[in-house]
Homo-oligomer: A and B are copies of this chain.
Amino acid sequence: MVRVLGIDPGLTRCGVGVVEGVPGRPGKLIAYHVVRSEPDEDISQRLLHLDRRLAELVALHRPESVAVERVFSQHNARTVMGTAQASAVAILAGSRAGLPVQTYTPSEVKAAVTGSGTADKAQVTAMVTRLLKLDAPPRPADAADAIAIAICHIWRGGTRARIQAAALAAARRSSR
């Protein structure tokens, strides 16, 4: 059982989802949050607010690792710089707390929860709701994305662990 805090970075809305689970099983939603800041606020105050809130949420939920969605420059050029800055704050929230931080591309996250790397936001929200047996879809979509990132990390972590175990077993066999 592992507890993961997933972050969908953004300056105006930053999604945070906390999921507990084991690879290949549905998992359990612990909590989700959206950290907001106003576009007309000073950038230094926006980043500071996000930094403080994420530090509080890490302290509150005590995850074993943090997973953050990777930002690409092919996104909307006007918002991409803010998203990149928010992603740095998100990554620091984990590493400053001494936690391992992993980043995933949007298509890795979509593929993990829906089976398709090109799924839209509605499909991701629907699958998150179904996988975690929620009564209602998490709102806004940023929260659902953050939860999907946490699920992706739990499952991918499991795959990595199985590959490592298999490699270790193979190494043991060949050294006999």
Q: With an 8 A cutoff between CB atoms, is A136 at the interface?
A: no
Copies in the complex: 2
Collect the chain B residues with CB atoms within 8 Å of residue A85's CB.
84-85, 87-88, 91
Collect the chain B residues with CB atoms within 8 Å of residue A72's CB.
81
Q: A47 near B84 (CB under 8 angstroms)?
A: no
Q: With an 8 A cutoff between CB atoms, is A64 at the interface?
A: no
Closest approach, in angstroms, between the C-beta of A97 and any C-beta of chain B? 10
Inter-chain CA distance A48–B86, complex, in Å, is: 15
A92-B47 contact, Cβ under 8 Å, with A80-B73, A87-B85: yes
Interface flags, A14-48, vs B, CB<8A=1, else 0: 00000000000000000000000000001111011
Q: With an 8 A cutoff between CB atoms, is A106 at the interface?
A: no
Closest approach, in angstroms, between the C-beta of A176 and any C-beta of chain B? 35
Main secondary structure of the interface of A (DSSP, over half): helix
Collect the chain B residues with CB atoms within 8 Å of residue A103's CB.
43
Inter-chain CA distance A45–B92, complex, in Å, is: 9
Closest approach, in angstroms, between the C-beta of A43 and any C-beta of chain B? 6
Which of A's residues lie within 8 Å of B, judged by CB?
A: 42-45, 47-48, 51, 71-74, 77-78, 80-81, 84-89, 91-92, 94-96, 100-101, 103
Q: List 24 A-B contacts (CB under 8 A).
A: A42-B101, A43-B101, A44-B94, A45-B95, A47-B91, A47-B95, A48-B96, A51-B92, A51-B96, A72-B81, A73-B73, A73-B77, A73-B78, A73-B81, A74-B77, A80-B81, A80-B84, A81-B84, A84-B84, A85-B87, A85-B91, A86-B88, A88-B88, A92-B92
8 smallest beta-carbon distances between A and B, as pairs:
A84-B84, A85-B88, A44-B101, A88-B88, A44-B95, A48-B95, A73-B77, A81-B84
